């Protein structure tokens, strides 16, 4: 992705991850250091594999006393976080370097898993190339920096022009309200019942993808919020929360979405981008700016025609209220494990992985919005993806997840509520009430406020 003005890593995305496997990475009998890096290699997110293979080769060539061991983790997002947490609990498995989702930073700092990087960053002259908003994503509650961002993202509507044309919908499709979006989905269903009209991720298997790409894109489009920054309290009893769940109920109960069985497949994200959209089996997908990374020549499912077939539109607000569209931004950071025996070497590997050349490569291959000014200014970045301007403009209407250490537990409660509604187990009102109680149980009633 291209960014005329790069922005913070606040998503993603989508998501690829770096973890360290079996690390106690110490020095061997010969005094050489081993730095272990692990990363998620799953579904659409495989581009980091080649990048870190090259980082390993280049770094070892320049530093013969250091060995980099790569440990790709083939697991879905939730399973990845679980594996990472388990690895962190033992000195023998704790990582030297890890790819850390921005929403996990504060909870992992609180758990003692991450090393503050401020002293190292003070001596890295390239740190000035990272925009200030991006740097915020790596901060702990103590104001120290624990993660260096690699990229960020935004979210909106992707639509297959072939599918929409059969339904009599325009090539410049741009719904202004939820009702207009639902009417378009109904038109797609009427034109061809075999086509899935609309995909909105929902339920526990998609993890944070359900929370962020699905629910929060709805909630923030109502004017509601999960967390009241002014009072530093979580919002409960919110009608906007109920309305967002009601949208989920509508699309699943009317057959405007994948079946619950399809939607609850942990591989559904890969199916959307690699199968349903390229094969004209899905009309509209609420998804991220990174999608073309799958379709580019170097991607997991190259699709040369994608830029002709696929269109983009902003996700509308509930009733078309200002600002007219809504987005969410996320991203991943590279962090150093608190237990590493070689913090200097680990940080040095980090700086190679996130230098201009590698950051540019990562941004292009993964369709990321750049967080380095020098990367955003590179002509090759701007030329790599025709949807860059659209998704970069969504920065103006984007939102970020609550930056609290308990967000991960709140996110899980949202996924539970979504799954209960999408499968018809309960009503939006009852699911919202159960969510409210889960929040109160998690943070204490004194840390909540009525919406």
| Tokens at 116, concatenated | 């503050």
Average pLDDT over residues 154-158: 97
pLDDT (tens digit per residue) in 282-313: 999 999 999 998 998 888 899 999 999 999 99
Give the per-residue pLDDT at 27: 47
**For 368-391, what is the mean pLDDT?**
92
| Highest mean pLDDT pick, 38-42, 232-236, 367-371, 386-390 | 232-236
269 pLDDT higher than 90 = yes
Written as six digits, the tokens of 135 are 């740097």
Whether residue 24 is predicted with pLDDT greater than 60 in this model: the reply is: no
Mind listing the pLDDT tens digit for each residue in 424-450? 999 999 999 999 999 999 999 999 999
Higher pLDDT, 268 or 49: 268
pLDDT surpasses 70 at 98: yes
Q: What percent of the chain has pLDDT over 90?
A: 72
High-pLDDT (> 70) share of the chain, %: 92
| Residue 140: half-sphere exposure toward Cβ, Cα within 13 Å | 20
Q: Residue ranges of the domains in the chain? A: 18-153+330-396, 155-328
The per-residue DSSP string of 97-112 comes to EEEEEGGGHHHHHHTT
What pLDDT, on a 0 to 100 scale, did the predictor assign at position 281?
98
Q: Residue 85: which pLDDT band, with cuts at 50, 70 and 90?
A: confident
How many degrees, rounded to 5, is the angle at CA 19 between CA 17 and CA 25?
A: 155
Please check whether the two domains, 18-153+330-396 and 155-328, share a CATH topology. Answer: yes
User: Selecting from 3.60.21.10, 3.40.190.10, 3.90.180.10, 3.30.479.30, what CATH number does the domain 155-328 have?
Assistant: 3.40.190.10
pTM of this prediction?
0.83
Average pLDDT across the chain, whole number: 90
* pLDDT at 125 exceeding the cut of 70: yes
User: Given pLDDT bands bounded at 50, 70 and 90, which one contains residue 9?
Assistant: very low
Q: Which of 20-29, 361-370, 382-391 is least confident?
A: 20-29
**For the structural domain made of 18-153+330-396, what CATH number should be given?**
3.40.190.10
pLDDT of residue 12: 33
How does residue 270 score in pLDDT terms, banded at 50, 70 and 90?
A: very high
CA nearest 414: which of 325, 335, 288, 328? 328
pLDDT tens per residue, range 418-429: 999 999 999 999
- pLDDT tier at 77, thresholds 50, 70, 90: confident
Measure the N-to-C terminal CA separation of the chain; round to a whole number of Å. 36
pLDDT digits (tens, 9 = 90+) for 203-239: 999 999 999 999 999 999 999 999 999 999 999 999 9
């Amino acid at each position: 992705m291209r960014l005329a003005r790069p922005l913070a890593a606040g998503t993603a995305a989508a998501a690829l991850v770096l973890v360290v496997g079996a690390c106690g990475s110490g020095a061997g009998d010969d005094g050489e250091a081993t730095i272990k890096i692990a990363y998620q290699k799953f579904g659409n997110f495989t581009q980091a594999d080649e990048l870190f293979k090259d980082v390993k080769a280049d770094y070892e060539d320049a530093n013969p006393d250091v060995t980099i061991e790569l440990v790709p983790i083939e697991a879905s997002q939730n399973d990845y976080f679980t594996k990472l947490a388990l690895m962190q609990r033992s000195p023998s498995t704790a990582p030297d370097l890890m790819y850390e989702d921005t929403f996990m930073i504060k909870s992992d700092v609180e758990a003692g898993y991450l090393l503050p990087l401020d002293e190292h960053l003070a001596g890295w002259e390239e740190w000035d190339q990272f925009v200030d908003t991006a740097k915020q994503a790596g901060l702990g509650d103590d104001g120290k920096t624990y993660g260096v961002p690699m990229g960020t993202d935004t979210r909106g509507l992707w639509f297959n022009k072939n599918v929409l044309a059969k339904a009599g919908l325009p090539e410049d499709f741009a719904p202004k309200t939820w009702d207009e979006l639902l009417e378009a989905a109904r038109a797609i269903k009427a034109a061809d019942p075999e086509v899935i009209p609309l995909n909105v991720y929902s339920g526990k298997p998609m993890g944070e993808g359900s929370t962020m790409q699905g629910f929060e894109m709805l909630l923030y489009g109502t004017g509601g919020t999960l967390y009241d920054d002014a009072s530093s309290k979580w919002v409960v009893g919110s009608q906007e929360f109920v309305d967002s769940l009601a949208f989920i109920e509508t699309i699943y109960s009317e057959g405007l979405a994948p079946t619950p069985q399809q939607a609850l497949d942990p591989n559904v994200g890969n199916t959307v981008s690699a199968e349903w959209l390229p094969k004209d089996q899905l009309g509209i997908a609420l998804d991220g700016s990174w999608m073309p990374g799958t379709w580019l020549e170097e991607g997991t499912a190259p699709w040369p025609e994608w830029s002709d077939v696929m269109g983009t539109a902003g996700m509308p607000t509930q009733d078309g209220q200002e600002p007219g569209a809504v987005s969410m931004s996320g991203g991943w950071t590279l962090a150093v494990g608190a237990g590493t025996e070689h913090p200097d070497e680990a940080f040095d590997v980090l700086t190679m992985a996130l230098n201009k050349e590698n950051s540019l490569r990562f941004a292009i291959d993964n369709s990321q919005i750049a967080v380095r000014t020098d990367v955003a200014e590179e002509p090759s970045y701007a030329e790599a993806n025709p949807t860059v301007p659209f998704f970069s403009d969504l920065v103006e209407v984007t939102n970020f997840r609550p930056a609290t250490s308990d967000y991960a537990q709140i996110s899980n409660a949202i996924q539970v509520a979504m799954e209960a509604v999408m499968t018809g187990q309960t009503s939006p009102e009852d699911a919202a009430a159960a969510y409210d109680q889960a929040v109160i149980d998690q943070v204490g009633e004194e840390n909540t406020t009525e919406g």
